[in-house]
Amino acid sequence: MPLLELTGVHVFYDKIEALKGISLGVEPSTIATLVGANGAGKSTTLRAVSGLVHPRAGTIRYDGTALAGRGAHEIAAMGLVQVPEGRRIFGRLTVEENLAMGAFTRRDRRAVAEDRERLLTLFPRLRERLHQVAGTLSGGEQQMVATARALMARPRMLLMDEPSMGLSPMLVEQVFETIRAINKEGVTILLVEQNALMALSIADHGYVLESGRIVLSGPGRDLLDDDRVRHAYLG
């Protein structure tokens, strides 16, 4: 049974229909990816799952329970955590304080401290910058903060919105490696990417979104070989 399952989800921004009946599923401990052009509705899909926008129709089920009517903070408390688009870190707080914010809902202090250590080992760069104000970090470092902050919540499932945006090819490489490492530890991942090539190559399952509709889906490898995908996104 999928850990996350969307069926016929419609989302409107006023009169604009951003999602026109999306259905998808993410199996536990896998990486699923959602690729598509600008404005296709990728971020909207993640926002709907996080509870930041509410679908007008359709259901979203996580771990067997319907999310309708739940607030964003409740959904986060269920272990479904989003790394938002565009490195939205807390710019006035230090790296350390940003990480602490990630563990906001947790009360198991000892385990939080352990997780912090683990993450600082995963992102050694952040250990050096622990007391720096996050707003002054470089773009890549800010992405690391955003990711590490989300992981501090010890999520069962991570929703990542374009983690590679604006990064140099070398850093992109690193980001995807990290994603794989996180997944290895058992965290289920739904990854939204413009960089379809990279995303599909690490994903167990891929979905192609076009103007609010899913037009193609299948195992990541298969989509990479699909002519339509190659033509539209891989050039």
Partner 1 sequence: MKLLRGSIATGLMFGIGGAYLALVGVLMMMQKRPVVFGAFSLGHTALLLLGLGTGAMVARHRESRAVALGLGLLAGLAAALPIALLGLTIATLPLQAIFIAASPALVHMLSFGLAPPQGAAAMLGVGSLAALSGAALAISPPRLRRAVIAGGMAVVVGGVFQELIQLILQYGGPIGAVRDFLYTWQGLRPEGAAALFLAAAAASETLSWLRGTPHAAGADERRRRRFIAAGLALLVLVLMPVLAGAYIGQVLMLVGLYILMGMGLNLEVGLAGLLDLGFVAFFAVGAYTTALLTSQSALALLHLTYWEAMPVAVLTAVVGGMLFGLPVLGVRGDYLAVATLGLGEIVRIIVLSDFAAPLLGGPQGVLDIPKPRIGSLELASPVALFYLTLVCAGVAAFIAWRLENSRLGRAWEALRDDEDVAQALGINLVRSKLLAYGLGAAFAGLAGSIFAVMLGSVYPSSFQLLISINVLALIIVGGMGSLPGVVLGAIALIALPELLREFGDYRYLFYGAVLIVMMRLKPEGLWPSEVRSRELHAAEEPADAGMIPAAERP
Residue ranges binding ligand ATP (CB under 6 A): 13, 16, 18, 36, 38-44, 194
Residue 39 CB, nearest approach to ligand ATP (Å)? 4
- Closest to partner 1 by CB, 13 vs 104, is 104
DSSP one-letter string for 128-141: HTTTSBGGGS-HHH
- By CB under 8 A, is residue 138 in contact with partner 1? yes
User: Nearest distance from residue 120's CB to ligand ATP, in Å?
Assistant: 30
Q: Does 102 bind partner 1 (CB under 8 A)?
A: yes
Binding partner of residue 122 among Mg ion, ligand ATP, partner 1, none, CB cut-off 5 to 8 Å per kind? none
Residue 159 sits at the vertex; the CA angle it makes with 35 and 191, to the nearest 5 degrees, is 25
The Cα 149–Cα 36 span in angstroms is 26
The stretch among 17-25, 145-153, 195-203, 209-217 that binds partner 1 (CB under 8 A) is: 145-153
Between residues 55 and 102, which has the closer beta carbon with respect to partner 1? 102
Give how far the C-alpha of residue 90 lies from the chain's centroid of Cα atoms, to the nearest Å: 18
C-alpha count within 13 angstroms, C-beta hemisphere, residue 53: 20
Half-sphere exposure of 226 (CA within 13 A, CB side): 21
**Of 40 and 95, which has the nearer Cβ to ligand ATP?**
40
Residues 6 or more apart in contact with residue 14 via CB below 8 angstroms:
none
How near is the Cβ of 151 to partner 1 at its closest, in Å? Answer: 11
